[in-house]
Chains A and B, each alone.
Chain A
Amino acid sequence: MFDKFREWYENRHEYAKDWKEKTGGKVVGYICTYIPEEILYAANVLPVRILGGHEPESIGLAEPYLFGMYCPFCRDCLAQGLQGKYAYLDGIVIGQSCIHIRQTFFSWRQRIPHEFDHYIPMPMNVVTPRASIPFLRKELEIFKSALERWLEKEITDDDLRRGIEIVNKNRRLMKKVYNLRREPNPKLTGLEAMYMVVSSQLTDKNEHSDAIEEMFNNGLATRDLGRESSIRLMTVGSENDDVEFTKMVEETLGATIVIEDHCTGSRYFWEEVKLDEKDPLTAIAERYVTRTPCPQRDWEPERIRFRRILDLIEEFGVQGVLLIQQKFCDPHELDIPALRDLLNEKGIKNYFLEFDVTVPVGQFRIRVEAFLETFASDELFAEDIV
């Protein structure tokens, strides 16, 4: 049922090249999910997220341009560009993000041929929306103008409303699919969810939304995966599109990832743009300032993201949490001790794993298996049995 999304995930470059040929449109690569895709859709430009290739042999290409202690994800992304895998991109944009991935953008901008580039200084301060929303609105206006100059066409408010609706519809549909993961016998696996969300970042959302609707028409809501007795896990952390790891957890070890907090997962699409009667750019600015923040922007003492993680744990019946962090990822490293303290305080089992370009699946299998066994030992030593 999710094969279409897997195909898109696996053949992302072919998809984008075909799209260009078919539509004659421009394709823009983006780094980090803090990019207002709504504006690109309004301009009839296809936004494609730049992701790593999980091929360790290619990483060396990025070495001369990135500091050695920057995360593997940012090196992997740049290596993809240097290898020419994204040669079809007409432009590249970033919504201000962590400094590691910024370097990927900076080096890409300098070293890989393209027609258009833009850096949006997306505000880091989402705690003071009174200041950050008007600021971001102006930056979005600058971005829109830059696009208009490049494309030599005006982007009207009606175009923006259309762009917002395309992206919002896709968000709504993915959320509808996610609701099926709440059920005791989830209707999809974590791997399937990953294929769906990541491919949404790689394809035309109109087509992607059609594919989701088709799944519903084909009985997604009544699907039976026979996973009612598997351990329900949540993954939390840095960018994660590691298919091999997810397969291992779900197929080899039999657990089910029922929800996640990653920018390649729920954090990407959870909140919609609330247009109401507002000016579209203001509505877009509000969405990006008030969305569930990445850890680097999450400055409140209690952390907005933590409250959401706890809510998701409850709503999706999560039994245990796998904390996944890209090696050297400072924003997550800065949150993990506090998050672990919170989860421990709430009695929620959790386990930490550090990811690289590829993960040692064999070692991780043993470690995750040991973590899963702790759930069985809980049953073994449960008071009513003892």
Chain B
Amino acid sequence: MDSENKYPTEGFKCWKKAKELRLQYYKNYMQAKEKGGIRWAGNAPSIDAVPYGLGDDVYHLTGEPYGATVAYNKEFARRCHEVVEAKGYARDLCAYMRNYWGSVLLNEFVFGGPFPKPDFMWVLHSCCSHAKWYQEASRIEGGIPYFVIDWSAGMYYKWDEKREDYVVDPNQEHRIQYLVDQMQEGIEWLEDITGREYDDEKLIQAAKNYFESTSLWAEICTLNQAIPAPMDEKTMYSFYVFAALHKAHREVVEFYKELRDEMRDRVARGIAAIPNEKARIMTDIQPPWGFLEIYRYMESYGVVSIGSFYTFTLMGHWEIAEDGTFRPRTTPMEKGIEIRTREDALRLLADWALGLPMAQIFYDHRFKSHIMKKIFTQWKCNGIIMHFNRGCEGLTLGVAENKQALVEAGIPVAYYEGNMGDEREFELATVKEQITAFIESLGLIK
């Protein structure tokens, strides 16, 4: 080990398994009809625990990870954008959505073959695009039935002057009921369009999986507080995606347990993500998927990205402890709550979904600024690099204000403008220059 490379490093043992699981997920969706199963499409936050009540042969495709996969394949993404724009859609719309629609319009699946049509669409709505994405996808695909649940029921937290922190707003009952009522109607709808009898036991098990997998992901991220960081954010992208693919599936729980144990082992042995860790940064929002090399570029300076509000909370569920620590959310099972009925499961699902930290950005940017400061401190960061992402107007809600708040708090912040899924809006050379200038401002040279 030379003086630059002061930490031991090694690849993740579960890396191969992760790749296999991801591939299997897409294969299952593609081949669902051959097995007489059901397939549905929806957005990543959709409450997938509910359709699992239709049976064990129900497979789905989440649009955002699919759109990101398309983005990674720049040539395919370009063709998707062109065919979408030719249909009259604006190029400033969500890049994932345009990649998805493009794939449908081209009738090409990014993994090969024609685009596999879903039997129905099941969506959870929060940003301006979610419901409309599938409304238009349905129109393009010739009228596939869809059901949308409105998630935008208001802020789960409120500011507590005394504690100078956010606490759970006790006024949640009607908000929970709003989601429960929609899910109840959704279950009737699912039975109606599939002709299947709904199984509450399967719902209850899937709900438990959802609570467990998304809390486990938060636990995995928490282990990255160690110095050296055992996982870099580029690697994290390959792992967090499972919660965005099928968070209510038992397979994800089991995989995250394995990953959590491996993280614990890496921390115990001092295994680093990068051997030359000198500085730790956090990022913000989705990366430009076609240009993940910027993370390797940062590493050449000894800078590791430990994660972000985005990678931690897009799917991970967290809570704020009495002492102000940002920590994994305690699951209903850990609290000893028994889930016996459909109503029990739906109420807990609603409460869980409403409490997602990422969902709070739609009601108050100050919440995110506050949590970003917590992450900055707890994960021992030296700076923040934010992506002003033209490809996702939902998650860019509040970013300009977040930047102001972080700068006012004395945190070194840089930002670059780009697009997570449309390479035409990303200038690699310029962004590298911006990153270089920022890293050098932190006192690091190559």
Choose the segment among A95-103, A220-228, A363-371 that binds chain B (4+ C-beta atoms closer than 8 Å): A95-103
Residue total for A at the interface (Cβ-Cβ under 8 A): 46
- Is there an interface contact between B148 and A299, defined as CB atoms closer than 8 Å? yes
Give the shortest distance, in Å, between A306 (CB) and chain B (any CB): 11
Q: Which residues of B contact A131 (CB under 8 A)?
A: 178, 181-182, 185
Complex Cα gap A233–B388 (Å): 40
Choose the segment among A46-54, A119-127, A148-156 that binds chain B (4+ C-beta atoms closer than 8 Å): A119-127
Most buried by A among B128, B129, B366: B128
Q: Which residues of A contact B87 (CB under 8 A)?
A: 337
Closest to B89 in A: A337
Residue total for B at the interface (Cβ-Cβ under 8 A): 51
Complex Cα gap A139–B363 (Å): 14
Complex Cα gap A26–B154 (Å): 26
Complex Cα gap A102–B397 (Å): 9
Partner of B131, one of A96, A103, A299, A333: A299
The answer to whether A301 and B139 touch (CB under 8 A), given A67-B393, A132-B178, A334-B132, is yes
Partner of A100, one of B125, B136, B390, B393: B393
**A331-343 interface bits toward B, Cβ cutoff 8 Å, 1 = contact, 0 = none:** 1011111101000
**B39-80 interface bits toward A, Cβ cutoff 8 Å, 1 = contact, 0 = none:** 000000000000000000000000000000000000000000
Determine whether B165 belongs to the interface, using a CB cutoff of 8 Å to chain A. Answer: no
Partner of B132, one of A102, A132, A296: A296
Complex Cα gap A142–B178 (Å): 15
Determine whether A328 belongs to the interface, using a CB cutoff of 8 Å to chain B. Answer: yes
Determine whether B417 belongs to the interface, using a CB cutoff of 8 Å to chain A. Answer: yes
Choose the segment among B17-25, B305-313, B398-406, B437-445 that binds chain A (4+ C-beta atoms closer than 8 Å): B398-406
- Is there an interface contact between B362 and A99, defined as CB atoms closer than 8 Å? yes
The answer to whether A125 and B125 touch (CB under 8 A), given A106-B364, A340-B88, is yes
Choose the segment among B4-12, B169-177, B199-207, B326-334 that binds chain A (4+ C-beta atoms closer than 8 Å): B169-177
Determine whether A69 belongs to the interface, using a CB cutoff of 8 Å to chain B. Answer: yes
Determine whether B187 belongs to the interface, using a CB cutoff of 8 Å to chain A. Answer: no
Closest to A336 in B: B88
Give the shortest distance, in Å, between A165 (CB) and chain B (any CB): 27
Determine whether B153 belongs to the interface, using a CB cutoff of 8 Å to chain A. Answer: yes
- Is there an interface contact between A130 and B90, defined as CB atoms closer than 8 Å? no
- Is there an interface contact between B152 and A96, defined as CB atoms closer than 8 Å? yes
Give the shortest distance, in Å, between B388 (CB) and chain A (any CB): 6
Complex Cα gap A340–B365 (Å): 36
Partner of B177, one of A98, A135, A296: A135
Most buried by A among B366, B394, B400: B400
Determine whether B372 belongs to the interface, using a CB cutoff of 8 Å to chain A. Answer: no
Most buried by A among B362, B388, B394, B401: B401
Determine whether B382 belongs to the interface, using a CB cutoff of 8 Å to chain A. Answer: no
Complex Cα gap A130–B189 (Å): 14
Q: Which residues of A contact B88 (CB under 8 A)?
A: 336-337, 340
Determine whether A110 belongs to the interface, using a CB cutoff of 8 Å to chain B. Answer: yes
Q: Which residues of A contact B434 (CB under 8 A)?
A: none
Determine whether A347 belongs to the interface, using a CB cutoff of 8 Å to chain B. Answer: no
Q: Which residues of B contact A68 (CB under 8 A)?
A: 388, 390, 417
Q: Which residues of B contact A185 (CB under 8 A)?
A: none
Since A69-B396, A131-B181, A134-B181 are in contact, a sample of 16 more A-B pairs with Cβ atoms closer than 8 Å, ordered by chain A residue number, is A69-B393, A99-B362, A121-B153, A121-B155, A121-B363, A125-B149, A125-B182, A130-B181, A132-B150, A299-B132, A330-B132, A333-B92, A333-B93, A336-B90, A337-B89, A338-B139
Query: Could you list 10 examples of A-B contacts with CB < 8 Å?
Result: A66-B400, A67-B399, A67-B400, A121-B154, A128-B181, A130-B181, A131-B178, A299-B135, A334-B132, A337-B89
Nearest 10 A/B pairs, CB to CB:
A125-B150, A121-B154, A131-B181, A135-B178, A138-B174, A334-B132, A337-B88, A333-B90, A330-B128, A124-B150
